[in-house]
Amino acid sequence: MKVKSASAKAGDWIFVIICVVISIICVVPMLNLLAKSLSSTDYLVKNAVWLWPKGFNIDAYKTVLSDPKYIRAFFWTVFLTVVCTLVSLTMTILCAYPLIFEKLKGRNVINIIITITMFFNAGTIPNYLLMQKLGFLDNPLVLIVPSCLSVYNMIIMRSFFYGIPESLRESAEIDGASFIQIMWKIYVPLSKPVMATLALFYAVGRWNGYSDALLYMKKTEFYPLQLLLYNIINNINSVEVATQEGFSTPGLTASLKAAIVMFSTVPILCVYPWLQKYFIHGVTMGAVKE
């Protein structure tokens, strides 16, 4: 058994300390929000809540869970996230797979055109006019179609496909498998690790997204949860808005704001452990047998 040197052990401890510090930086704000959402208004007005609830109560959560607009926005956002993730993964695979074939005519030109879109964008006004011409304004499709493909994620998928041995594809071609069959029965099953990672990227991006709904959507029934949260936080200092939302004191306003943030953050955090198991799998583990 090989014994680590003193410098290697010191490096391990430094790495552990860095990870612990980063974890604390990420966890402390969440604990502060959780404490505020479970604290009474008296302590919140005094700004006496830090990491532990004071005057424990769940009035803020009762307000959130009893208000139809929050529940509607939550389930709409869940549905939107699932649909967008599936559509985006499908588009990513369909775009990345053909680009691994050297015989594809114009492949280099296509790669250049796709890459250019990562660095140059038409801008807000041209994009708005395009959505208007396509009839996507105030249409739920505006939250799905324009962002259904990330070039960065497509490049990751394409690079992953490059790593799959060509012998597998050639064997399938000899057996008479079609272009689509090779993709579906060989490349997709072997791509679970990268698909899980990209699915997480797409899901988090859609769950946290609100700018597209803010620009293109006026129908409040199609507001995602993050846009609802944005509107509340953006106007939280207004007495009229606070009263309209059912608040009577600044403390209750702060408590509800923290509860809504927790309400909109915890569900997507629960996705991470479920997908984590796929990250450790090998790219082609078990694909080639000797």
Residue 287: which pLDDT band, with cuts at 50, 70 and 90? Answer: very low
Least confident of 30-44, 185-199, 251-265: 251-265
Residue with tokens 């679970």: 192
pLDDT in tens, 80-89: 999 999 999 9
Among 3.20.20.70, 2.70.98.60, 1.10.3720.10, 1.20.120.160, name the CATH number for the domain at 59-279.
Answer: 1.10.3720.10
Q: Where are the domains of the chain?
A: 27-57, 59-279
Percent of the chain with pLDDT over 70: 87
CB 57 within 8 A of CB 38: yes
Q: How far apart, in whole angstroms, are the C-alpha atoms of residue 259 and residue 60?
A: 6
Runs of H (alpha helix) within the chain: 6-37, 41-45, 59-66, 68-96, 107-116, 124-133, 151-162, 166-174, 179-182, 188-190, 192-208, 211-216, 225-234, 239-244, 250-269, 271-279
- pLDDT over threshold 60, residue 289: no
Residue 53 φ/ψ, nearest 5 degrees: -60, 145
Please state the rounded mean pLDDT for residues 64-68.
80
Amino acid in position 115: T
Q: Specify the pLDDT at position 279.
A: 57
Q: Which of 244, 237, 254 is nearest to 41 (CA)?
A: 254
Which of 167, 154, 161 has its CA nearest to residue 188? 161
Task: Return the minimum-mean-pLDDT range out of 68-72, 99-103, 133-137, 277-281.
Answer: 277-281
